[in-house]
Amino acid sequence: MHNAGKPHPSRSLSHLLLLNGPNLNLLGTREPGLYGRCTLAEIEQALCAQAQELGHRLTCFQSNHEGELVDRVQQARSEDVAFILINPGAYTHTSVALRDALLAVAIPFIEIHVSNVYARESFRRHSYLSDIASGIIIGCGPLGYRLALLAAHERLATASHS
Ligand SMILES: O=C1C[C@@](O)(C(=O)O)C[C@@H](O)[C@@H]1O
């Protein structure tokens, strides 16, 4: 039976965290040819609904500041976050601090990029996070966020059965 909008009764609630880095607050108006017309608010709203349907709770956070993102990753440990979905924006290509924070909390995460970073400038081909990520989703547009949530859900389900 369809149970839209309500947590699935047989699944335990996990806390998931969606992090978006610099300039992603401009999604919808920022270079729409590359990033599409969906706003971050629309993406977050759809993802919260999807998370709830899958039986999870999703917290969303965006910042243009590296230290705030590091703080939010550190905070995730005390909030019992089971999985992080992160589009680090330009910090993907520069931030050892974000890498260290993710290693420190040891919470599995999926790295998301709306655009195909491999089809752009060469400096976007290097990520400080990809080799420590549980998965990466690149170039699928805003759909990438939904795919990442599904992947996290599958990983959590597998972990809880092993
Ligand atoms: O800000 C962004 C967005 C991005 O992470 C993406 O979602 O495609 C790709 C990054 O290279 C860029 O700096």
Does ligand 1 come within 6 angstroms of the Cβ of 87? yes
Q: How far is the CA of 50 from the centre of ligand 1 (A)?
A: 23
> In this predicted structure, what is the pLDDT of residue 12?
65
Residue 138 has pLDDT above 50, yes or no: yes
First-to-last alpha carbon distance for the chain, in angstroms, is 27
Q: What is the pLDDT of residue 161?
A: 75
pLDDT bracket for residue 120 (50, 70, 90): very high
Domains of the chain: 14-161 (3.40.50.9100)
Mean pLDDT, the chain, integer: 93
Q: Is 35 a catalytic residue?
A: yes
Q: What is the pLDDT of residues 13-71, one digit of tens each?
A: 899 999 999 999 999 999 999 999 999 999 999 999 999 999 999 999 999 999 999 99
Quick one: 58 exposed, middle or buried, by C-beta within 10 A (0-12, 13-18, 19+)?
A: buried
Q: pTM of the predicted model, to two decimals?
A: 0.92
